[in-house]
Structure 1
Amino acid sequence: MSFRGFVCKTIPIVAFGVGIASFPRSWRKEYKGDPKLLRINESVLNQIQDTELYKTLQTNNNFKQYNSSHAFPGQHHSNYIGTGLLFGPDLFEIDPIVFLNEEKGELVSFYHLGESLISQDGQIHNGVTSTILDEGLCSAGFPLLPAKKGVTASLSIDFKNQAPPRSTVILRAKVKEAKGRKVVIEGYLETLSFDLSVKPTRVADAKCVLVQPKWFKYLQWLQI
């Protein structure tokens, strides 16, 4: 083998090894908290916690409760939508509350959408709705994948209505099929009214196909 051939083959291997060795340490470096999460709309949070749906889910031992920001490393909140890029006053105003049944792949989550998330027509932008559905349906499906991780292969959304600004919305998702490295999840987003005389508005229905690439099994040790 020539010297040039040796170098061409050796450098990529060494670089890959260095990257693997240093990446986990960088990924798991000490995290001291996200100051954005101190600006939660407490009044909305209290209203959600007073609903019968919230109380029922909280006492159901089949569901695990957590906040959306706890589902991924804190260092990466700034790159996340709901608790990063679009989190704060008049945006995503609470750290989304999630109830997840990992065994059955059922999920119910609460969001509050501020008036700065609107499109030109004055209603909540469909892009915001799409993001909620994509992230939520995937969260319902992840536990049923062998490596507990995957990527969205396809996402279809049927927009019914647009949510008004300053509205609280609920995402409901459920796994319909789980086979090997493929999971199919269906769900819908609707408004939550704190006035029982007001019926919820169906915002959108969605179907997501979640797949686990073959090489994901080699990354199960990463906290992603």
Structure 2
Amino acid sequence: MTVDQVVVEPASTEESILEEDLHSEETLEKQILTFPIYQSYIDLYQKFTSTNTKTLDIVERIYPNLTGATLSGPHKIAYRSQTLYFIDDYHFQYNEITDPDDRDNYSISFLQLGDALSGHKGIVHGGLLATLLDELTCRVGFLNFESKRGVTANLNVNYKKPTKVDSWVCIKCTVLKKTGRKCWVKGDVYLIDETKKALEDCELLTSCEVLIVEPKWVDQLKH
């Protein structure tokens, strides 16, 4: 047989279907339901919203946009949970936050990041993590403005450990301070350990602090 006659057999249809099934949203949803840490936050959310009902009125607007459409799908952001907001009803009075506060004001999001999001081989691109942190910190920050809108004024990201592709991560975003038209939010990316119940027991991969501003021309912003 000559070189011209060499035939490379494509992967079988059955193998291709099996590979795609492993990355399907349905399969990943079944997987996340087995994580103790996910169940722990679902239980906490149900308990929290039984006494802080304004959180239940939050409407997410993630489609279509960069992370909700362009970067979403098999091998990319293959799964994205509903963001769980823990915002004490007190904060929906849009009070200033100048001192450490014992009233909850944070969000939790679970994501599965696929192998098409790499920068270096096998490692999720740092720019993708920055994008997710920017978006998710802003979402919780905006809720502390009466207009529910704002823009990023400064984003400072610290990459502590590489985030490997095909990883489950949890992003926690916590409001630190709000004065007038400015709000500061901290964002943390944790690697999900399927055996743990608390984020504090998981690896911290990336963290950031974001300054969000409600501009005077806020009425021109559209969701």
Normalized against structure 1, the TM-score is what? Answer: 0.70
Is 1:99 the counterpart of 2:88 in the alignment?
no
Is 1:41 the counterpart of 2:25 in the alignment?
yes
Q: Percent identity?
A: 23
Give the structure 1 partner of residue 61 of structure 2: 72
Give the structure 2 partner of residue 114 of structure 1: 114
Deviations 1:43-101 (A, max 9, x none): 2222222323322322334355799xx62274xx1xx2222111111111013431112
Give the structure 2 partner of residue 203 of structure 1: 205
Q: In the alignment, residue 42 of structure 1 is paired with which amino acid?
A: E
Runs of at least 5 residues in structure 1 that lack an aligned partner in the other structure: 1-38
Distance of aligned partners of 1:195 and 1:58 in 2 relative to their CA distance in 1, 3 Å threshold: closer
Give the structure 1 partner of residue 71 of structure 2: 86
How far, CA to CA, are the matches of 1:65 and 1:83 in structure 2? 21
How far, CA to CA, are the matches of 1:175 and 1:108 in structure 2? 12
Deviations 1:131-175 (A, max 9, x none): 111111111111111211100000000101111111010001110
How far, CA to CA, are the matches of 2:139 and 2:117 in structure 1? 23
Q: In the alignment, residue 171 of structure 2 is paired with which amino acid?
A: L
Aligned CA-pair RMSD: 2.6
Distance of aligned partners of 1:66 and 1:127 in 2 relative to their CA distance in 1, 3 Å threshold: farther
Give the structure 2 partner of residue 172 of structure 1: 172
How far, CA to CA, are the matches of 1:126 and 1:66 in structure 2? 33
The 5 A counterparts of 1:202-221 are 202-216=204-218, 218=219
Q: What SS does the corresponding residue of 1:62 show, helix, strand or coil?
A: helix
Q: CA deviation at 1:109?
A: 0.5
Give the structure 2 partner of residue 57 of structure 1: 41
Which runs of 4 or more aligned residues in structure 1 lie more than 6 Å from their structure 2 counterparts after TM superposition?
Answer: none
**Contact map agreement 1:102 1:144 (CA 8 A) in 2:** no
Aligned residues: 176
Q: In the alignment, residue 84 of structure 1 is paired with which amino acid?
A: A
Deviations 1:193-222 (A, max 9, x none): 2245xx633211100000100121x458x6
How far, CA to CA, are the matches of 2:159 and 2:76 in structure 1? 21
The 5 A counterparts of 1:142-161 are 142-161=142-161
Runs of at least 5 residues in structure 2 that lack an aligned partner in the other structure: 1-22, 50-54, 89-103
**Contact map agreement 2:35 2:195 (CA 8 A) in 1:** no
How far, CA to CA, are the matches of 1:73 and 1:176 in structure 2? 24
